[in-house]
A and B are shown apart, each in its own frame.
Chain A
Amino acid sequence: MTTRLSNAEIQYIVDGVEQDFRSDGRGAEDYRQIELETRILPNTNGSARCKLGKTEVLVGVKAEVVDVDVHAPHIGKLVITADCSAVASPKFVGKGSEVLENDLSNVLSFLYNSTNTISLNDLCIVKGESCWQLHVDVLFVQCGGNLFDVASIALKAALYNTTLPIVKVSGEGIEMEMEVSDDPYHVWKLDVSNCPICITLYQIGGGFAVDPSEEEVACSEGFVHIGVQPNGDMSSMEKAGAGNIDPTTLLEMVEVGVRVGEEIHKQLNKQLDAEKSLAKL
């Protein structure tokens, strides 16, 4: 994904970002059109596909009943794993994608680390015994920049329509019996009203921008991932990439990131609710 740019091109892009008018006409805070589709994988408990620019991500959520963690007997588990498919680029064959996958898995897991993002208590079936473990697999089918943001949007959409079978627990102690319902309509949904999305702000020259194109990424020095919740709270923050960021710029970035994040949440929720009203499940 190395883009070679001439000095004139770099200057053009940097000037554009600083003046809030990028090469494709967008402002520094504008995202490109986001394409989202949910419930595309019937094998999973929840799924979504998200496409933004040249990046396309598929998220599948699979649930299984497991034993609780000894250190946290009253909550369920959420495991987020990223997978860069070889279909996206020949570089991802075999172990080529390991570094990027680790990075993606860590940032996305970090987003959901804080306790008020998703209620893991709801995933507990029998306290001290069994709980639901949600495996969220993020598959990158095309990689064209801005991977974290797209993945987090698809993740939230997949969790939004994740359905878990209702479990009937009877008896106590040794005689305890758990019955997982077979009925595809006897299900419950997770509460994703606080789930965050990742907004990545790239520092380009003296300014910063969201959702950069590949050329703009090549001109950037350092970027910041911010996990933004629908109510404007931040669930996580991480600075990555090579480059120094001024503290004042950082505060400005955070303010913009939260603002953009809230707007995206609003639009996302609107679309997800509209899609829900299309089908009766």
Chain B
Amino acid sequence: MASEILSAEGLRCDGRRPQEMRKLKCELGISEGADGSALVEQGYTKVLVSVFGPHECANRNTRNHERAIISCSYNLASFGSAIRKKKMNTDKKSTEVGVMIQNTFEAAVMLEKFPKSQIDIYVQVLQGDGGERCVAINATTLALINAGIPMKDYVCACAATVYQDSVLLDINNLEESSRGPLFMLAVMPHTDSIVQLQLDHRLHNDHLDKVVKETIQGCRDIQVLLDRQVKEWTVEAGSRT
């Protein structure tokens, strides 16, 4: 098991080098019914996000007179994981991830522009192979851009682990289930400001600096790809008759 994570030649179980990210494919505006939507695939992890809003607040009690509120729901498809998971409406883990994404984007979206409104973010994980939260954040960024909701910057997320002193970026399911630390970072790349950070298991203090630096670089690399797709989509949408 141990040698599967990182071989003697420095290759991971899927043939990548430690700092190599998975292949990223993204598409904007794939769901016509939503105000904004995006589908992002990183390796085998596939996440679809729909954004509705800004619209009138559904619940008058949660309405905020100064800025918009964000509501986020995260769901994993029954066929999404290796073992089939029955759909549960009140899954604690899903609720937690939903709140995490909501907090992340409350920092990035210009909420003051839409007082008393609500922005809904719905995340559907179609297939999970590690790093679902990160792909969800990346897809949400694109969906919000697709919806035309103003943001301070892209929000890009990347997960990493440390194995035998090497930082492994963009971890897949097998690497996530190993007993190493799971370090997730969501960053606004132009200013390198961290909007979300989660660490599971143990990480030695000596490694912290290295992990943060390399994960931020991973996020910057993701931003380049997302930006390229946004520009392509803008040209295509703008030239549509």
Contact = CB atoms under 8 A, between A and B. Distances in A.
A and B are partners in one complex rather than unrelated chains = yes
Given A43-B127, A135-B78, A64 B84 contact: yes
A55 B33 CA distance: 9
Given A41-B127, A135-B84, A142 B75 contact: no
A86 B122 CA distance: 6
Interface in B30-56: 31-34, 37, 44, 46, 48-50, 52
A139 B89 CA distance: 15
Contacts of A210: none
A144 B32 CA distance: 10
B77 A83 contact: yes
Contacts of B120: 90, 93
Contacts of B217: none
B77 A86 contact: no
A181 to B, nearest CB: 17
B196 interface: no
Interface in A128-167: 135, 137, 139, 141-144
A165 to B, nearest CB: 14
A50 to B, nearest CB: 14
Nearest to A42: B44
Given A41-B79, A135-B78, A87 B129 contact: no
A47 interface: yes
A94 interface: yes
A44 B122 contact: no
A228 to B, nearest CB: 26
A144 B33 contact: yes
B102 interface: no
Contact of A86 (B44, B50, B84, B90): B50
B206 to A, nearest CB: 36
Contacts of B83: 64
A54 B82 CA distance: 30
A43 B81 contact: yes
A90 B79 contact: no
Contact of B79 (A44, A56, A93): A44
Contacts of B123: 87
Interface of A: 41-44, 47, 54, 56, 58, 60-62, 64, 81, 83, 85-90, 93-95, 135, 137, 139, 141-144
9 closest A-B pairs by beta carbon, nearest first, are A60-B79, A87-B50, A86-B122, A137-B78, A62-B84, A85-B124, A87-B122, A87-B124, A137-B79
